[in-house]
């Protein structure tokens, strides 16, 4: 079983390799740019999960028995606060879709205000911490949890949820989707 991840973002690619090779040590994993088909800064679970599914749909292949992986980061509003929200999707060679959501933490209001003005979380987080390329490593999750859970850990957990459901699908021919 081979996998293609629809992104070259290092946090996404590293998380994918860590988890897929844990379950399938011989799997071939390729990373390619894929468009999410949604806004560069998705807003809400609906838009974020759609971005994840679109990326996975773009890279799966029923001819080569390749499973597509899509991971997407977004933000959502809950109880007056803005939370980071992340979604993942697998598209199987038979076009079956498996999805899973990630853990969420609220963002400081200074950061939320900038997102409301139309900026993307990646650059906003970089300027907030006077750093470069945080979205490829720690991410907002890592920075606002003092490194306890990084963006790689966050996507790795989503991958575990996806691969676990994939195993269940293989064993039972069904899942919750
Ligand atoms: O190359 P791609 O796969 O597009 O990687 P990306 O980092 O842009 O990731 P997304 O498109 O999935 O994320 C949408 C936006 O939210 C930003 N983002 C999402 N989660 C983040 C995080 O934990 N830390 C920093 N930026 C984040 C990201 O940089 C984008 O501006
Ligand atoms: Mg992006």
**40 alpha carbon – ligand 2 mean position (Å):** 5
> pTM score, two decimals?
0.95
CA distances from 107 to 82, 88, 99, 125, 150 (A): 6, 21, 24, 10, 15
| CA nearest ligand 1 atom 10, residue | 73
Fold adopted by 2-103+151-172: Maf protein (3.90.950)
Are 13 and 31 spatial neighbours (Cβ–Cβ below 8 Å)?
yes
Q: Residues enclosing ligand 1, CB less than 6 A?
A: 7, 9, 12, 40-41, 72-73, 84, 120-122, 125, 134-135, 139-141, 151
**What is the spatial distance between Cα 155 and Cα 6, in angstroms, rounded to a whole number?**
13
CA-CA-CA-CA torsion sign (135, 140, 143, 148) = negative
Interval 54-111: pLDDT, tens: 999 999 998 888 999 999 999 999 999 999 999 999 999 999 999 999 999 999 999 9
- Segments making up each domain of the chain, as ranges: 2-103+151-172
Helix (H) or strand (E) holding 73: strand 66-78
**ipTM score assigned to the predicted complex:** 0.93
Tokens for 32?
């390619």
């Amino acid at each position: 079983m081979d996998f293609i991840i629809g992104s070259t973002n290092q946090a996404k690619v590293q998380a994918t390799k860590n988890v897929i090779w844990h379950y399938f040590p011989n799997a071939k994993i390729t990373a390619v740019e894929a468009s999410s088909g949604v806004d560069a800064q998705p807003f809400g679970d609906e838009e974020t999960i759609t971005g994840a599914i679109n990326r996975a749909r773009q890279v799966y292949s029923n001819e080569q028995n390749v499973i597509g992986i899509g991971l997407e980061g977004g933000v959502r509003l809950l109880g007056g606060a803005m939370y980071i929200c992340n979604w993942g999707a697998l598209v199987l060679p038979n076009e079956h879709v498996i999805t899973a959501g990630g853990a969420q933490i609220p963002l400081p209001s200074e950061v939320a205000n900038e997102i409301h003005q139309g900026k993307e979380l990646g650059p906003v987080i970089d300027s907030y911490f006077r750093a470069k390329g945080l979205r490829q490593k720690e991410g907002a999750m890592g920075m606002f949890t003092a490194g306890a859970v990084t963006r790689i850990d966050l996507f790795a957990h989503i991958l575990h949820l996806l691969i676990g459901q994939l195993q269940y699908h293989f064993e039972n021919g069904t899942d919750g989707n």
